[in-house]
């Protein structure tokens, strides 16, 4: 059919704006803009008598709500007779004001703009004799239900998580901050994907310079497509060569709300359930949203557990290696004897054992994560039996090594955001301590601390509030002080409006 038409009709060339001829417009869409695209539907109909006019509704078949288009555009247009003598703007005004029942309508005469609106899931209405198109919001596609985010479980706290729908995600945050100071700015990123990106902040709290910086960095992105917020994260973060995260990500609207209320800026990307928050500091890896919902004593305890776990997961193999290879005198006598006994028949030096076991664990974990759940369980069973038992009986590794790998792995999962970073830190420390013992371990730690201290995230030093001993910043770092003591927002973020708790006088009574 197309071949026949193409041969017969002369293809109009170089059209940029809608013409008064309906057929020309349709042909332009069919043969140029949406050539070879079978998802685009052209619904032709006529308005009611006496002033009957030919119309066409163009939309992408699977991106719209069909009932809405049939009911509120096609049906409304067919029934409502158009008054005489209306031309162009008057006609468009009459239709948008009196006929179409829709809350969001865009009027434009540009073909490229209309095409974008159609691929974005809107219905475009063209009327014969009028060189403007009306785009009506009618997006409707398969959406995931709001559910508890699988990557961040809580025992106590809201159970809502972001989905892949940008508008819904923004609403989830907005519902928590019902205040005109809550601002959302939409940007479009990706020359091919035209992905919508939302920048969320609280106007009265966030520093304008920070908001400006975030918007500026996102606008400077020149990439063909943005599939997930991870793209944005990597393209705009500070210290991009460092494995340390300088932009946070979360699947939880309550976390985003909390962070932007402290003066941070959040970025949501259409199609991604992961919101980005910035600036992101080292201490945030050890904070959990549940810290703020639970009693402050237990929250502080759990936070300290997290710090200890981070130390364990990064340092245990390195310290074990340093002690057994360089400083056996530092191990208690009974323990050193039992370690020596268990290493009796192991053919490999300590460093080989540590690296190999660490690698095996990472392989098992990676396998378990990517596989479907039932198969993943099989992996963990195999891992537990092979590693825990068989390898020791076969004298391939020593029993204490299993304990070291086990405690390292378990502690690593406590701080899930830093898991991958911790693996790299662990490897670095294992290498340095295998060469220089405890001295090497200390040098490695110093190198890491120097690196952390040299980093910044959106102008805020990365180690802020971990290098202080007094002041408001410390109240939410190593400990979580009770809410009535956290009267001020962090200075490094919310410089313009620091007061979080109004009645500081009353707080002293409690």
Partner 1 sequence: MMRRLVWAIILICPLLLLCGCWDYTEIEILDFVLGAGLDQVEPDYLVVTEMIKTSGSAQEAQVETVVLTTHGRSLSSAARALSSPAGRDVFWSHAQVFLVSEEVARGGILSAIEYAVRSHHMRSTVAMFVTRDCTVEEVFKSKPPFNDTVSEHLGVLIDLHAVVSNFYPQQVWEFTSDLTAQGISGTLPTIQLVHEQGEKVPIVKGTAVFKKDRMVGWLDGEESALFSLLKGKFQRDHFVMETRTSEGSFPITYQIMGNKVDIKPVVKGERPRMNIKISLQLSVVEVGHGAKISFQNEQEVKNIEEQIAHTFNRRTKDLIEKLQLEYNSDILGFGQLLRRKEPDIWRRYSEDWDSFFPLLDVEVEVKCTIAFTGLSSQPIIVRD
User: Which residue ranges make up the site for partner 1 (CB under 8 A)?
Assistant: 324-326, 328-329, 333, 336-346, 349-350, 392-393, 395, 398-399, 431, 434-437
| In 326-418, alpha helices (H) | 333-342, 350-370, 373-385, 391-393, 399-414
CB of 397 to partner 1, least distance (A): 8
Q: Which is nearer to partner 1, 40 or 399 (CB)?
A: 399
First vs last Cα of the chain: how many Å apart?
82
CB of 435 to partner 1, least distance (A): 6
Q: Which is nearer to partner 1, 239 or 342 (CB)?
A: 342
Q: Which is nearer to partner 1, 190 or 444 (CB)?
A: 444
Give the closest residue to 335 by CA, choosing from 392, 404, 436. 404
The 10 Å Cβ neighbour count of residue 275 is 27
Q: Which is nearer to partner 1, 81 or 328 (CB)?
A: 328
Q: Which is nearer to partner 1, 352 or 371 (CB)?
A: 352
Q: Which is nearer to partner 1, 297 or 330 (CB)?
A: 330
Q: Which is nearer to partner 1, 53 or 451 (CB)?
A: 451
CB of 247 to partner 1, least distance (A): 22
CB of 391 to partner 1, least distance (A): 10
CB of 144 to partner 1, least distance (A): 40
Q: Which is nearer to partner 1, 109 or 406 (CB)?
A: 406
The 10 Å Cβ neighbour count of residue 286 is 22
The 10 Å Cβ neighbour count of residue 97 is 9
Q: Which is nearer to partner 1, 235 or 399 (CB)?
A: 399
3-state secondary structure of 272: coil
**CB within 8 Å of 169: residues ≥ 6 apart:** 162, 163, 198, 253, 268, 273, 275
d(CA 508, CA 373): 52
CB of 350 to partner 1, least distance (A): 7
φ, ψ at 34 (rounded to 5°): -110, 35
CB of 444 to partner 1, least distance (A): 13
The 10 Å Cβ neighbour count of residue 320 is 24
Handedness of CA 210, 211, 217, 223 (dihedral sign): positive
CB of 363 to partner 1, least distance (A): 23
CB of 325 to partner 1, least distance (A): 6
Contact assessment for residue 137 and residue 122, using Cβ atoms and an 8 Å cutoff = yes
d(CA 356, CA 358): 5
Q: What b-and-e string marks burial along 115-132, b requiring 16 or more CB atoms within 10 Å of the CB?
A: bebbbebbbbbbbbebeb
d(CA 165, CA 272): 8
């Amino acid at each position: 059919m197309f071949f026949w038409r193409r041969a017969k009709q002369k293809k109009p060339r170089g059209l940029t704006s809608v013409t008064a001829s309906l057929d020309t417009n349709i042909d332009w869409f069919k043969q140029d803009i949406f050539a070879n695209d079978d998802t685009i539907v052209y619904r032709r109909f006529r308005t009611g008598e006496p002033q009957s006019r030919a119309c066409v509704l163009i939309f992408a078949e699977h991106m719209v709500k069909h009932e809405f288009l049939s009911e509120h555009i096609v049906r409304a247009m067919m029934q409502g007779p158009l008054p005489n003598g209306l031309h162009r703007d008057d006609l468009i005004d009459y239709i948008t004001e009196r006929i179409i029942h829709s809350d969001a309508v865009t009027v434009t005469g540009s073909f490229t703009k209309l095409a974008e609106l159609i691929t974005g899931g809107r219905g475009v209405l063209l009327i014969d004799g009028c060189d403007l198109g009306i785009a009506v919001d009618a997006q409707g596609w398969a959406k995931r239900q709001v559910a508890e985010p699988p990557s961040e479980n809580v025992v106590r706290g809201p159970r809502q998580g972001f989905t892949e729908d940008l508008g819904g995600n923004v609403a989830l945050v907005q519902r928590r901050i019902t205040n005109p100071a809550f601002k959302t700015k939409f940007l479009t990123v990706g020359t091919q994907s035209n992905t919508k990106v939302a920048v969320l902040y609280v106007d009265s709290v966030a520093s304008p310079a920070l908001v400006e910086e975030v918007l500026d960095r996102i606008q400077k992105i020149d990439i063909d497509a943005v599939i997930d917020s991870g793209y944005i994260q990597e393209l705009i973060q500070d210290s991009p060569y460092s494995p340390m995260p300088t932009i946070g990500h979360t699947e939880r609207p309550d976390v985003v709300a909390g962070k932007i209320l402290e003066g941070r800026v959040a970025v949501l990307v259409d199609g991604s359930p992961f919101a980005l928050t910035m600036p992101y500091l080292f201490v945030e890896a050890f904070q959990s949203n549940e810290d703020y919902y639970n009693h402050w004593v237990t929250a502080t305890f759990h936070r300290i557990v997290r710090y200890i776990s981070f130390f364990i997961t990064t340092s245990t193999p390195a310290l074990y290696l340093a002690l057994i290879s360089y400083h056996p005198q530092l191990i208690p006598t009974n323990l050193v004897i039992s370690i020596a006994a268990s290493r009796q028949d192991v053919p490999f030096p300590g460093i080989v054992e540590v690296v190999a076991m660490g690698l095996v664990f990472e392989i098992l974990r990676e396998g378990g994560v990517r596989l479907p759940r039932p198969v993943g369980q099989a992996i963990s069973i195999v891992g537990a039996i092979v590693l825990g038992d068989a390898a020791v009986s076969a004298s391939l590794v020593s029993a204490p090594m299993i304990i070291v790998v086990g405690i390292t792995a378990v502690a690593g999962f406590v701080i899930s955001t830093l898991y991958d970073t911790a693996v790299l830190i662990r490897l670095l420390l294992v290498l340095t301590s295998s060469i220089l013992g405890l001295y090497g371990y200390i040098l490695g730690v110093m190198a890491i601390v120097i690196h952390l201290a040299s980093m910044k995230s959106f102008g805020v030093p990365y180690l802020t509030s971990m290098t202080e001993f007094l002041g408001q910043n410390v109240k939410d770092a190593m400990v979580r002080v009770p809410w009535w003591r956290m009267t001020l927002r962090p200075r490094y973020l919310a410089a313009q409006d620091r007061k979080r708790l109004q009645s500081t006088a009353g707080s002293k009574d409690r």
